[in-house]
Structure 1
Amino acid sequence: MQFNRTQLRIGLALSGWLALGATVLPGGSPLRWIPVLVFVTLGPGLALLHPQPAGLRPGARLEALALAAPVSLSLATLTATSLFLVEGFSTTAFLVSLAAFVTVAAALPGVPLPAATRGAAGRAQPRGDG
């Protein structure tokens, strides 16, 4: 099943709000912590890197996925630290901040990736040795 860019962007935008909604479930339930963990680990990074205007080549998809986790965790750390510094940290404030960021980022074009622009996954063109 192939998703188009609009469906991907809507899915990314909704993922944070879904993770926030999962927090109303009982504390130890995997239905609570799995969506939150997946969203915090991949959501912000994918929202920044994946929705490219012209789509992604296969190598660039791998690059976007490989960069999504470190970018997401960096943004989550900055968000949590900022909330702690203003003495406003709570799970709800943390997830609302990230979900709002992802919603806005999903509506914008993705950050350009080197593999997307140079065609890293494409076959090397034979060069004439002459």
Structure 2
Amino acid sequence: MTLDHLRLRLPPVLAGWGALAVTALPGGSPLRWIPVLLFVCFGPGLALLHPRRGTLRPAARIEMVALAAPLSLSLAVTVSTTLFLVRGFSATAFLVTLAAITTVAAALPGLPLPAATRGAVGPGRHGPGAGRGR
């Protein structure tokens, strides 16, 4: 894994463990709930979707952000439901599980994005025919 890949894959992981760390702050503080909310809404999805190779062009970036939120929230609902069913739900257990899933997902190759497979990944070519296979 190169430094460039690490730079792109590490922020969701750090956000997850950082969200867990800020739960030590007093309840109701915006410094506590804002990082947790942002991580739960985007962190796991970004870790799962971000491709490993190439620089994302605008179409793939937009697609990644648009898909990250529903994917993250679906994962959060699944984790929270599972924890409720085993009678083990707590904010700490929820965030530890999501942060661990995010860490594992960041170490794996990202899921292929449809925009990325249509030529939206790689060096920017501009003009007619940009993004089409030749």
Q: Please give the range of the TM-score, normalised by the shorter of the 2 chains.
A: 0.7 to 0.9
TM-score norm. by structure 1 comes to: 0.88
1:27-66 aligned within 5 A: 27-66=27-66
What residue is the counterpart of 1:95 in the other structure?
Answer: 95
Q: In the aligned structure 2, how far is the partner of 1:84 from the partner of 1:104?
A: 23
Matched, 1:125 2:104: no
Q: In the aligned structure 1, how far is the partner of 2:51 from the partner of 2:93?
A: 26
TM-score norm. by structure 2 comes to: 0.85
Query: How many Å apart are 1:109 and its aligned residue?
Result: 1.2
Which segment drifts farther, 87-96 or 52-61? Answer: 52-61
Percent identity of paired positions between Structure 1 and Structure 2: 65
Gaps of at least 5 residues in structure 2 are none
Gaps of at least 5 residues in structure 1 are none
Please identify runs of 4+ aligned residues in structure 1 that moved more than 4 A.
120-124
Q: In the aligned structure 1, how far is the partner of 2:64 from the partner of 2:128?
A: 21
What residue is the counterpart of 2:69 in the other structure?
Answer: 69
What residue is the counterpart of 2:79 in the other structure?
Answer: 79
Letter in 2 for 1:95: L
Counting matched residue pairs gives 124
Letter in 2 for 1:46: L
Query: How many Å apart are 1:119 and its aligned residue?
Result: 2.1
On the 8 A contact 1:80/1:94 being kept in 2, the answer is yes
Letter in 1 for 2:129: Q
What residue is the counterpart of 1:106 in the other structure?
Answer: 106
Q: Secondary structure at the match of 1:125?
A: coil
